[in-house]
Chains A and B, each alone.
Chain A
Amino acid sequence: MTELTQPLSEAGGAGVAGVAGGKGASLGELARAGIAVPDGFVVTTAAFTAALAAVDPDGSLRASVEALPADDVPLIAERAGAFRERIRAAPVPREVAAAITSAYAATLRSPDISDMSPEEPDPGVAVRSSATAEDSAGASFAGLADTYLGVRGAASVLEHVRRCWASLYNDESVAYRRRIGVPETGLAMAVVVQRMIAPRAAGVMFTRSPVTGDRSVVAIEGTWGLGSALVAGDVTPDSFAVSKVTGEITARRVSAKERLHAYSPGAHGVTVSETPEHLRREPCLTDAEIVALASAARRVEAHYGVPQDIEWALLDGDAPAESRVVFLQSRPETVWASRDAAQIATPLPRPADHVLSRFTRPL
């Protein structure tokens, strides 16, 4: 029988494809490629299938969702909403709950990469949905699935795993699937559970410019604290570009970062506040950190062979920058991949012909 949970470092590995979902598989592959990712486990699609078998034993609920017309927004909201309620209300099957509880306990015992609060017994976890259809180069479901930060205690983990399962039937996700005609049968949702980290800074980066498509740069955006401030559009991030060829930082724009999403284990958990005045206009990354991030991004790009879209975090502390880089996600870049330009130039009979042809039209 397929495992109900997998350590993150094994997720998506050979022979277990499909069960970890896109995000889980990608994190597993990153870990195996030597990139630091927060420790954790994947609740596999087998666990989802077992849970859904209890909620929708004959598949009639899924059939009714598949029959929804793509443009009937109120009807989608009504049926998807009802389905989500069923999933969230149903108790997690006993053997699934046992597997999650045990994997969660193992995660809490694992060595902590961020050496955050060693005296704190429960640093909390992030619970992130990992759908099977998402995160592929062809159809990005970016932002359509759910992530919960700072979840503490086995009961709460189980509750948030159910929420992630239910998020497969978010109104927007269902509407999107109906628009592009993805069948509902065979869809499944894995869930990633990872130890929380409290980064000094976090953000996203692309191994080609998201603005110009330039393949010779790594474009980095970041802000203080958790990257959620940036992903949620709560802050204008700092942005940097690093040349892959010269290794130089070729662009930097430091913004006034007004809002700060931070995490501390314990009662406060995730907090949203005004950024302290003295930090707002300070760059959130040092040059060494920018270079370390770009270098890790290039390793991942080389590993996959195509430009990547990465979520990163940078741990606090005095250790060298390269040992503080953590990746939270990496997936193929989709925007420019689909519009790569035609040939810019072709060889001509004589080198001088390039000049002659160029100067025959206004510059």
Chain B
Amino acid sequence: MDGFPLPSQIGDVPGAEDWRSMYPYFTRFQPEDDKRFWFYNSMHFPEPMPAFDTVTAEIPYQAIGSNTARLFVFPTTLGIEHRIVNGRVYITANPVLDPAEVERRAAAFGPRAAHYYENWDALYEGWKERLRGLINEIESVSVPELPEWEPESAVFSARGVSQNHYLLENFRKCLDLYSRAWHHHTEMLMLGYGAYVVFFQFCTEAFPEISDQAVARMVAGIDVIMYRPDDELRRLARLAVELGIDDLFADGADPGQTLSSLTDRGDSGRRWLDAFAEARDPWFHVSTGDGFYHHHLSWNDDLTVPFAALTGYVAAVKAGTLHDRPTEELRAERDRIASGYRSLLSSAEEQAAFDQMLGLCRLVFPFVEDHKFYCEHWFTTRFFQKVKAFGALLARFGVLAEADDVFQLRHTEIDQALSDLSLAWAAGSPPLGGSHWPPIVAERKRMLKVLRDWSPPPALGPVPEALNDPAVRMLWGVTSERIESWLHPSADEVVGVAASAGVVEGTARVLHDVNEIGSLREGEILVCPVTAPSWAPVFGKIKAAVSDIGGSMSHAAIVAREYGMPAVVGTGDATRRIRTGDRIRVDGDRGTVRVLEGHGSSEHGPEASS
């Protein structure tokens, strides 16, 4: 029988044999792991993991598992386990298969889940409050400055505790807050997906050939936060034209330069800057990635992305081609599809059940769609910036060459480096880390580069008879058909999730980072690792979208459907296998991308910085 390699059969990538030194012992494959089915979580972890960034697996998985298995007691599923091999994160879900055990858990699950569903909106309001609280807390964590002497005030207020004490406490506070944010993240999310799974399964039973997209379109929200950052940019572009300061938004202009020029433009400049300041908080906290790597920065961290988009929008306003999202039409379309399927059901009873399930989905979906902005975007970009500030401190004392190097250390290693710094500052000697960490950091950076070229098998271990975990099916789209395509890959065909219907042929433009959108030409097909709301301006120029990461409810999928262009998402490796300039056919009905002519250059575009 054909199958996937066993975890024990995966050899070390030559030149990066020491990859294990970057990751905690509890992420290593064990001999008995050969008996289970694992798949590569390319959706969240498309790149080799820098040592610190493994917290984005460690902490989310302890949060997801405890919420499903222990807090709500989902009857059919426990938690998710993860392992790291050659820098890549593999996961497996622990389903509950024994019917008696399912029944025992169901008795506990019923009242717990019902409490959330029945009080959903009120609980969601409270949830937003708690998340804003966590965001305030992470922003207010102070990074000790470690001056030569403590200020006199420390003495006169009899503080008694010196700053070096707070090094560890405050760093650990960051991790503590990150963990809390993730517990809240999964607190409501798994129930939200539960409602979606149930509606989805009803639809596929009633209409066996219904596409994932059609189900998603009946449920999708119209006024969701995800569109807000892009809406703000359109508003700012219109304002710039209205105030007659649009000349400052020229192609390739430096954002800092533009902002300082605006201060010389009198009242108009001031009015625009006020509007800009208002839009930035919170809407520019949107991430250029999806929050699983430290280099996923927010617009506020790096203004080049929103300013590149602004330039395009200003030009569109002047050309009279900038249109708002047709929300009324989208709403009508969503209702037309839902009533179309409803009318094809065989009885009034089924229609009533359909109404209940769809209603429940629409109740939970504002959370499902908006939570990312609070967690992965707003909170997480603040979290990484704070950790980076500790990195800057370590760099100032010579422990690291530069602030970003802190992400090459595991969080427990950062603890050690901070202890070292604390001792050295107290003793009046240089920290010993200055000779210890820099060679380790350099070696890890080198290994990550080597590991980047490894093509991880999509799955490991024996093929399961049945895929029983709803999270695995819904979040990662791992179905029997998917496993089949992994087992029998086609040489010139890239397989992913059919996210938006239609078939289109054209020239590929592979962009690894949203900063490269300037190179995109009208009518090209975008091939990218993942899209986030900050990519929205791209969609006006392209005729199809292909991404490495994402499911039928991902950002690229939703935006592509709104623009009516074909999209294939969650391909895993489209950005590796397709080159800029290749002629490709995107089949958004079947979820495949075929390379028709490999004209593309073999050079990669610039990789996302690490």
Contacts and interface: CB of A to CB of B under 8 A. Distances in A.
Interface of A: 209, 212-217, 241, 243-246, 248-252, 287, 340-341, 343-348, 350-352, 354-356, 358-363
Given A213-B208, A248-B214, A359-B113, 17 more contacts: A241-B209, A243-B210, A245-B214, A248-B589, A250-B211, A252-B503, A343-B347, A343-B349, A344-B350, A346-B350, A346-B352, A347-B349, A348-B353, A354-B357, A358-B201, A359-B74, A363-B470
A356 B110 contact: yes
Contact of B353 (A244, A287, A345, A359): A345
5 contacts: A213-B208, A214-B209, A250-B210, A360-B109, A361-B76
A250 B353 contact: no
A362 B210 contact: no
Contacts of B469: 363
List the 7 closest pairs (A to B, CB-CB), nearest first: A245-B340, A212-B208, A352-B117, A345-B353, A347-B352, A360-B106, A248-B501
Contacts of B117: 350-352, 355
Interface in B90-116: 95-97, 99, 102-103, 106, 109-110, 113-114
Nearest to A358: B198
Given A252-B590, A363-B76, A214 B210 contact: yes
Given A213-B208, A217-B209, A248 B350 contact: no
Interface in B261-303: none
Interface of B: 74-76, 95-97, 99, 102-103, 106, 109-110, 113-114, 117-118, 191, 194-195, 197-198, 201-202, 205-211, 214, 217, 337, 340-341, 344, 346-347, 349-350, 352-357, 359-360, 363, 466, 468-470, 473, 501-503, 587, 589-590
A352 B113 contact: yes
B118 A352 contact: yes
B456 to A, nearest CB: 27
A249 B498 CA distance: 12
A251 B209 CA distance: 9
A348 B356 contact: yes
Contact of A363 (B106, B201, B502): B201
A246 B215 CA distance: 11
A345 B202 contact: yes
Contacts of B211: 243, 248, 250
Contacts of B337: 245-246
Contacts of B363: 351
A347 B209 contact: no
- Tell me the interface secondary structure of chain A in the complex: loop
Interface centre among B198, B340, B346, B587 (most CB of A within 10 A): B198
B189 to A, nearest CB: 14
Given A345-B350, A354-B360, A246 B501 contact: yes
A356 B114 contact: yes
Contacts of A345: 202, 349-350, 353-354, 357
Contacts of A287: 503
Contacts of A216: 207, 209-210, 340-341, 344
Contact of B207 (A215, A251, A348, A351): A215
Contacts of B341: 216, 245
Contacts of B191: 355
A184 B103 CA distance: 61
Given A352-B114, A359-B109, A346 B353 contact: yes
Given A252-B590, A351-B359, A209 B208 contact: yes
B207 A359 contact: no
A347 B349 CA distance: 6
Contacts of B501: 246, 248-250
Contact of A351 (B102, B206, B360, B590): B360
Nearest to A346: B349
A336 to B, nearest CB: 11
Interface centre among A251, A340, A347, A361 (most CB of B within 10 A): A347
B103 A360 contact: yes
A342 B440 CA distance: 65
Contacts of B214: 243, 245-246, 248, 250
B205 to A, nearest CB: 5
Nearest to B72: A359
Contacts of A363: 76, 197, 201, 468-470, 473
A354 B353 contact: yes
Contacts of A212: 208-209
Contacts of B503: 249, 252, 287
Contacts of B589: 248-252
B356 A351 contact: yes
Interface centre among A244, A252, A356, A361 (most CB of B within 10 A): A356
Nearest to B588: A248
Given A209-B209, A345-B350, A362 B113 contact: no
A344 B205 contact: yes
Interface centre among B208, B337, B354 (most CB of A within 10 A): B208
A302 to B, nearest CB: 12
Nearest to B339: A245
Contacts of B590: 251-252
B195 A362 contact: no
A161 to B, nearest CB: 42
B356 A360 contact: no
A363 B194 CA distance: 11
Given A245-B214, A249-B501, A340-B346, A356 B113 contact: yes
Contacts of B350: 343-346
A155 B302 CA distance: 86
B490 to A, nearest CB: 14
Contacts of B205: 344
A305 to B, nearest CB: 14
A208 to B, nearest CB: 9
A363 B467 CA distance: 8
A210 to B, nearest CB: 11
A74 B106 CA distance: 65
A2 B542 CA distance: 65
A78 to B, nearest CB: 47
Given A245-B214, A250-B209, A356-B113, A361 B198 contact: no
Contacts of A250: 209-211, 214, 501, 589
A355 B110 CA distance: 9
Nearest to B361: A351
Contacts of A244: 340, 344
Contacts of A354: 198, 202, 353, 356-357, 360
A313 B202 CA distance: 36
Nearest to B357: A354
Contacts of A362: 76, 95-97, 99, 102, 466, 468
A247 to B, nearest CB: 9
Given A250-B209, A343-B349, A345-B353, A350 B197 contact: no
Contacts of B468: 362-363
B424 to A, nearest CB: 55
Contacts of B349: 343, 345-347
A244 B352 CA distance: 21
A133 B608 CA distance: 71
Contacts of B352: 346-347
Given A243-B211, A249-B589, A355 B347 contact: no
B471 to A, nearest CB: 11
A241 B211 CA distance: 11
Contacts of B360: 351-352, 354-355
A351 B358 CA distance: 9
Contacts of A249: 501-503, 589
A47 B253 CA distance: 87
Given A346-B350, A363-B468, A248 B502 contact: yes
Contacts of A347: 349, 352-353, 355-356
Contacts of B340: 216, 244-246
A351 B344 contact: no
Nearest to A253: B590
A309 B202 CA distance: 27
A209 B206 CA distance: 12
